[in-house]
Structures are given as structure tokens and as C-alpha cells.
Amino acid sequence: MPYKPSPPSNHRTFSFLLLLFLLFSAANAAGDKKRQRFKEAPKFYNSPNCPTLPPNDDISNSTCSNDSDADNNDDDVSVVHVAMTLDAAYLRGSMAAILSVLQHSSCPENIRFHFVASSAADRDSLRSTLSGSFPYLKFQIYPFDAAAVAGLISTSIRAALDCPLNYARNYLADTLPACVRRVVYLDSDLVLVDDIAKLAATPLPNGAVLAAPEYCNANFTSYFTPTFWSNPSLSLTFAGRRACYFNTGVMVMDLARWRVGAYTEKIVDWMELQKRIRIYELGSLPPFLLVFAGNIAPVDHRWNQHGLGGDNFRGLCRDLHPGPVSLLHWSGKGKPWARLDANRPCPLDALWAPYDLLQTLFVLES
């Protein structure tokens, strides 16, 4: 049948219906976000040779066992402490990351999760979502005063990097209980395919405060502005340091040393300078480089197969870096859950999908 343009009177009706439809879709999309439901994960049990923990080891009332005494910071990892941020936008990623940590751990019952959520977040709802999927998870949720940090953040080239919660990793030493000495910090857009205890046991020799995979072939110069490099009083901060790029999405942190060295203040000092002079373009990463690059303990690259999110501007698919894989990290613009939902996944997104706990129920609701 040939197409006939509608008469003008119908056109107005059509516009009105279209508007109604758009409003309805928008309301529904917002509702879907709130109603994200997650499946229950299986219970994961310790293998027989796992160290037994004191029965009073209970982070839910802010006590924790003395899991490693102050002088032996290296390999005593009877308890593995993991810190992550938690927010509605990345919850699906966080849930997948938690599942992957438990599933590949030989002592999953000895893992303690420390979640940082913005103080405005509905922490009761986050708590019940977590407990719903992981009834046996030992975790604590801490409020993070995003407003206090927001004033310190200068706008970066990627809006997502400006989210105050991205800066929560600067404050872990103050946020977590003092008895937590060593913590593994993990971003929400990653999955582990290896035992986190191995990562947590990374040696931190010579007083190192943190360990992360380093990338000395990356062009370190490009992380800071010409203003920074042309000002000797600033650029001399790297004098005598073999400074290499590292990604802050996977770090082993010695919080006791961090507290003693007041590293939070050192990072904040650089952030305050950045408010006055633009010394870098990206968000939370450069202050970490300024304070720590060249002085960190190395971690094998297998623990951060990064960049799987793809190109920052065009969202292109990326391949794995050569070598073994213990952790897959979808850093970059694209996230696997968004691409899977949009039916435009990258090939490696298939490796994230098995950890997705989101319940896919297609129920028509009115």
C-alpha cells in the first residue's frame, strides 16, 4: 500500500501519542534501574588447608582479627581484605567482580569485603542487594563524604572520572578500621580468574606503600600538562625516581604505612594545586602517580589485563595483552554489561558474562 501522509489533524494526535510514549519509556527506564534484581550466588567453601580464623573475626561490628602483625607485612594473608566502591550505576559490575573473587578463591570464607558508598546512597538497599545475592558474604559498607571531595575535583576529559566516589581509594586508610593493615583495592569493572590470595600476598619490600602492575613503556610525559613539565619546582618531584605509569584500578595497599606517611594529605595537596594550575587532565589517577610512581612494588601484568573497555573516545574493542591472565579489567569507555545489553558486545565481553548476576526477567508491568 502506498504511503499517504496523514492529514494535519491526525498529525497532532500522533505527536501527542509519541510524546506519551516517550514519557512512558523514560519513566520505565528509570524504574528498571531501581528494580535491578540479582540472582543468588552459590555458597563458596574453604578448601581443607585454609587457615582457620578466630571465631570473633567479625568486621560487621568494626572489629577484625589481627590478620598480620605490624612487623610481618609480607605473606601472612590468612584474611584477605578487599576494598571496592559501591554505587547504583556500577552495581552490576561490582556484583560480578565479587562473584569472580569468591569463585576463584581457595579460601573464600576468609575474604572480608569493605565497600565504600557515597553518604547520599541508600546503603540499606545496597546492603540488602548484597545479602540477597551473597547471604554468606562478610562485608561492611562505609559512607564516603562525596561532598567534601567534590570541591577538590577539577573537571577532566571524561565525566565518569569526575565522580567523587572515584576518589574514595585516596581515603581508604581513614575509612577502614585501623586493624585492617593490608587491603586489595579493586575497581568495579573487572573480574578475577585467579586466586586473590596470590595478589594479596604481593611482597611490599623496602617500605613500599602500594603494589600495582607498572607500565614503563607508556608515555609518562603525556599524563601531565606542559605547564607541569615546564615548571621545575613541580616536575622535580619525579627527580631520582624511575617513574612509570600504573593503573589505580588494582592495587595492594599497606594501610598502616599509608597512615604513618599521611599519604592522603599528600594526594590532596596535589589535588588542591590542580584546582589552581592545571597540571594534569585525567581524574583521580595523576595524583597517585605524583605521589607514588617509581616507588611502588611491582605486580605481574597478569593481574591487570586493562583497557578492555576500549578506546576513550570511540569505544573500539580491544584485545588481551600478550601473556597470562589472572584479572580482566574493562577500563576505558565501554563496559561489558552496557554492550551486552545493547547487543553490541566486544568478543572479550563473553568472558565477563558468566559472572553477571542480573536477573533477566522480561515481565510486562503496567
Under the binding rule (CB under 6 A), the answer on residue 206 touching ligand NAG is no
| Cell numbers 498529525: residue | 11
Q: Specify the stretch interacting with ligand NAG by CB under 6 A; choose among 60-68, 155-163, 296-304, 326-334.
A: 60-68
Q: Enter the C-alpha cell of residue 340.
A: 551486552
State the minimum distance, in angstroms, from the CB of residue 172 to ligand NAG.
20
Among 25, 47, 155, 222, binds ligand NAG (CB under 6 A): 222
Q: Specify the stretch interacting with ligand NAG by CB under 6 A; choose among 75-83, 169-177, 216-224, 251-259.
A: 216-224
Under the binding rule (CB under 6 A), the answer on residue 58 touching ligand NAG is yes
Angle, vertex CA 273, rays to CA 155 and CA 156, nearest 5: 15
Q: Helix (H, G, I), strand (E, B), or coil: what is residue 214?
A: strand
Contact track, ligand NAG, 61-100, x by CB under 6 A: x-x-xx----------------------------------
Q: Specify the stretch interacting with ligand NAG by CB under 6 A; choose among 58-66, 209-217, 306-314, 344-352.
A: 58-66
13 or 222, CB closer to ligand NAG?
222
Query: H helices of the chain, where?
Result: 8-34, 91-103, 123-133, 146-150, 172-175, 196-200, 226-230, 232-235, 255-261, 263-276, 285-292, 336-341
Tell me which residues in 38-57 interact with ligand NAG (CB under 6 A). 56
7 or 232, CB closer to ligand NAG?
232
Under the binding rule (CB under 6 A), the answer on residue 219 touching ligand NAG is yes
State the minimum distance, in angstroms, from the CB of residue 54 to ligand NAG.
6
Cβ atoms of residues 213 and 182 within 8 Å = no
128 or 221, CB closer to ligand NAG?
221
DSSP string, 115-134: EEEETTS-HHHHHHHHHHH-
How buried is 154 (Cβ within 10 angstroms: 0-12 exposed, 13-18 middle, 19+ buried)? middle
Q: Give the footprint of ligand NAG on this chain (CB under 6 A).
A: 56, 58, 61, 63, 65-66, 219, 221-222
